[in-house]
Amino acid sequence: MLAYAIRRIAGAIPTLLILLTLAFVMIRAAPGGPFDAEKQLPPQIEANLRAKYHLDEPLYEQYARYLWDVMHFDFGPSFQYQDLTVNQLIASGFPVSLKLGLASLVFALLLGVPIGILAALRQNRITDYGLMTLAMLGISIPNFVLAPLLILLLAVHRDWLPAGGLGGPSHYVIPVIALGTAIMAYVARLTRGSTIEVLRSDYIRTARAKGLPMRRVLFLHALPAALTPVVSFLGPATAGIITGSVVIETIFGIPGLGRFFVQGALNRDYTLVMGVVLFYGILIVVFNLIVDLVYAWLDPRVKY
């Protein structure tokens, strides 16, 4: 398994290099620059700024310089946040995004798995149809539509929860629901389908024929096998939570990494955008590796 993990990490390096190259080219191809503002800078000052950040060099030299810095885990200085490096901005914003993302993932799993199991046990009954209809609605409604609706219902009309900002646990309730609802719906549907398939397996019939209670059969024998598709889905789910957090953090004014990314893109902060993109890419690679290793623990038939 250690050799497999090393191979996966080594195989991810070309992917991250392509990701970095695309981000480098696309952010520079966008109109405008990091020093464009409503008030035009004097030409000499702008030339000095461009020379300070090596923007006066040819693109291939800028790319080679940035790649060398990244290899030393240095994402460079921010163009818009003075006296701060991209590493410092990531270090300040990532804990907030991590807390929001983990809370959304826990919310999705704690609700999605029981809903899927209940629907499987009540297959083709009104409970099954009702739960799967709600799951389809959760998949269909984008988080940037669900978030304002939740704000109107729970913060504006009822004044039960804060509408935005960052403070106590109550400030996380609406963002977590908005970010985790779609993932919860996918988990519920996956759990339902896999549970129905596992409950029809021969070893489950054998366990039932021996007189084991349904609760023990479900939780000790069926559930580990039924959760393998859900575990496999956690990799794409993490990517969905990461990309969704960019929108959610902007809507709710949460000072996380996603909000830095949006502001960096609007301000043409080249190093900040590329640093966040590369950092997110590394996170997804690491989490997918963890998911693959957990998959082998749940399903002994998997060999590395």
Domain containing residue 249: CATH number: 1.10.3720.10
Highest mean pLDDT among 127-136, 140-149, 214-223: 127-136
In the prediction, which pLDDT does 38 show?
52
166 to each of 93, 100, 144, 171, 205, how far by Cα in Å? 12, 11, 18, 6, 51
Distance in angstroms (rounded) separating the CA atoms of residues 63 and 302? 41
Pairwise pLDDT comparison (267 vs 192), residue with the higher score: 192
Sequence-distant (≥ 6) Cβ neighbours of residue 290 within 8 angstroms: none
Which residues span the domain enclosing 116? 87-275
**To the nearest whole number, what is the mean pLDDT of the chain?**
82
Domain count, the chain: 1
Look at residue 155 and tell me if it is in a domain: yes
Look at residue 28 and tell me if it is in a domain: no
In the prediction, which pLDDT does 253 show?
82
What pTM value is reported for the model?
Answer: 0.78
Residue-wise pLDDT for 156-176, tens only, equals: 887 788 877 777 778 888 899
Whether the Cβ atoms of residue 105 and residue 237 lie closer than 8 Å to each other: yes
Look at residue 6 and tell me if it is in a domain: no
Answer yes or no: is pLDDT of 111 > 90: yes
85 beta partners:
77
End-to-end Cα spacing for the chain: 6
